[in-house]
Structure 1
């Protein structure tokens, strides 16, 4: 019988299983259909033989009569008609608002009087880039800068961080008591000519390697050119102890980085600057400062500035050697630096 000969025949269609519980591949469907159409098997007998429902046997037999072996392939589950689909005119309005204003589904839905899920489904159907992938100023997809190896590019920047008065600031004591505490700590018992005296600041100087995200950071008293130059010399020496040489440095256009003192500290290292008013170019160190603020500076309530400063070296070591980084596949920065911990010596 033809049905028995099919077991040893070389069939053209490739075996394809739509899901792991599917009882029939394309080859099995062809065998079932030929047993019914060409060999005259009943639908019930064929269904029992191939361990499927009678309706399944009927479906593949009908497709074989209509299309032949080509009808054994899976068809798209998309319906032939979608009478309730969002009109094309509405879809174009959604896309226009997204491109011009760069709004999310919720704001677009409020503007156009639509359901949020409808707007989200349209944006997904046309594969529009997510807002977090776009540059808000230009609307262009952000290009990620990725260095090939350690030392190819190091990002440098400064972040101002307000000091905590003795006894705790407003985050712990509330704004009324905390502000009074800060004023008393700042004036040290003397009357100030300012109604709200300026609070003291730490200047957090940071250098972060673009390839490994390994960071060197210090809490300093200012951001003058001499301070920035001395910081870079210490940072460069630290990166050398980690086993790589810095070749390029990227900074913003701050006065300390445009000074001759910082230029002399760099020496033969190539100095690149960001475009004015474009902090996104120096985004790796900007993102590090945000992580630092979330996980160290404001992660818990500190009773004094000294308590928070003492915690900083421990947090920085955790960041470099133990904290998983999303850009590195969940691994800490130290794993991208060859032989940093001496495991290959």
Structure 2
């Protein structure tokens, strides 16, 4: 099967090895002539970034880059990025990287034309309608990991540097106009990042599939996304040069982020505050807490996960699926607990309060409260 395709759902996606060469065409399609490439500090010096800047320059787009992006991007990063965008007279953003680069790039494009402060656009009620939609700059997204799926998302996660809370900034128009999914860009990922980002995609699909909300389209996408991760993440982890596995994982990442329109749950409700306070890798944190959350939600999801297990070729219904997750984590070198992840003496009450305040709690199959969430967090530790 050839992993080379153009899709128009949920936006224009160009999938295939070597398709970063189309960055000039993608920018033209999005209406950009002078884009700012936004990426993170780690990627800024890598060959794939230099090669992309060369392609931009060859296409007459210049080679402007902003890379002051932290692993958990903050409002300070947004402010600096918007200043670079405005000072450079740019007309669009190429969001390049993993979740941090993609999320920050999207918010820079969003905020560059706004007059209100960032937190006025948090994903609460209809706050997104406060934005001047016509002032949102176009975005081309180029993922270099296969996990967050932010390249097909209408939101970004930004950490409030004062409160250490992760906030979701939402607007329908920060869905990138064009996405280039080139699996060759993910070949250089360290194995630990391949594992963590891959399990992030798995968590997105799993929580969307288990969410009690009604969205059968997302349900189907989530189920097939789980299958792709099951089949191809171990291959990508074992051999980073396996282009087929890398391409399938890029598809799974986009599917997870499309599916979680149906909702997320306790996995993300826990991992958001843990990551914001303790600076753990988001996808790895998701993987660490996944089995405990499955156990927590079992009364509400046992039948549903039995059906998923059957589709995935896993015997034993819910128990078989639970054991599969544990074995996959072990295979990928994921720590067995938050303690093993390096979290010592956390402020449990503060983490629980933040978890209950996280938008992801609304999609959890079992209602979360202070008592059961405290017990869940202690079990994860």
TM-score category (smaller protein): under 0.3
Greater helix content:
2
TM-score (norm 2): 0.19
Please tell me whether Structure 1 or Structure 2 has the larger radius of gyration of its CA atoms. Answer: 1
TM-score (norm 1): 0.21
